[in-house]
Amino acid sequence: MSGMTLSPRHDDAWLVIPLFNEATVIERVVRDAREVFPHVVCVDDASQDGSAELAEAAGAVVVRHPFNLGQGAALQTGMRYALEATDAAYLVTFDADGQHQVQDAEAMVCRAKEEDLAVVFGSRFLDDRTRPGWVKKIVLKAAVWLTNQQTGMRLTDAHNGLRVIRRDAASALDLRQNRMAHATEIVLQLGRTGLPWAEHPVHVLYTDYSRRKGQSLINSVNILVDTLLK
Amino acid sequence: MLDQPLIKIVLLVAIVVITLMLNRSTAGSRHQAVRRLLLVGFVLLAAAAVLFPRLLTQVAQALGVGRGADLLLYGLTVFFLGYVASSYRRMRQVEQQVTTLARELALRQAVHDRREHGDGPAG
Between B7 and A214, the more confident residue is B7
Q: For the residues of A184-230, what is the DSSP string, one character each?
A: HHHHHHHHHTT--EEEEE------HHHHHHS--TTHHHHHHHHHH--
Spatial distance between the Cα atoms of A5 and B38, rounded to a whole number of angstroms:
68
Which of A89-98, A204-213, B56-65 has the highest average model confidence (pLDDT)?
A89-98
Does some domain include residue A1?
Answer: no
Does some domain include residue A115?
Answer: yes
Res A214: pLDDT: 62
CATH number, domain with residue A74: 3.90.550.10
Test A65 with B106 for CB contact under 8 angstroms. yes
CB contacts of B22 in chain A (<8 Å) are: 229
Test A63 with B106 for CB contact under 8 angstroms. yes
The proportion of chain A whose per-residue pLDDT surpasses 90, expressed as a percent, equals 61
Between A230 and A43, the more confident residue is A43
Choose the weakest-confidence range: A18-22, A184-188, A224-228: A224-228
Does some domain include residue A164?
Answer: yes
Spatial distance between the Cα atoms of A41 and A59, rounded to a whole number of angstroms:
9
Check: CB of residue A89 under 8 Å from CB of residue A167: yes
Nearest to B107 among A59, A80, A230 (CB): A80
- pLDDT bin (cut points 50, 70, 90) of residue A213 is low
Over range A141-153, report the average pLDDT: 84
What is chain A's Cα-based Rg? 16
Nearest to B110 among A63, A73, A87 (CB): A63
Range of the domain at B14: 5-87
- pLDDT bin (cut points 50, 70, 90) of residue B26 is low
Spatial distance between the Cα atoms of B109 and B104, rounded to a whole number of angstroms:
8
Shortest CA gap B123–chain A (Å): 4
Tell me: pLDDT of A49 over 90. yes
Spatial distance between the Cα atoms of B88 and B94, rounded to a whole number of angstroms:
10
Query: How many independent structural domains does chain A possess?
Result: 1
* Mean pLDDT of the residues in chain A: 88
- pLDDT bin (cut points 50, 70, 90) of residue A3 is very low
Shortest CA gap B117–chain A (Å): 12
Range of the domain at A174: 9-228
Check: CB of residue A23 under 8 Å from CB of residue A49: yes
Give the chain B residue nearest A42 (alpha carbons). B110
Give the chain A residue nearest B88 (alpha carbons). A229
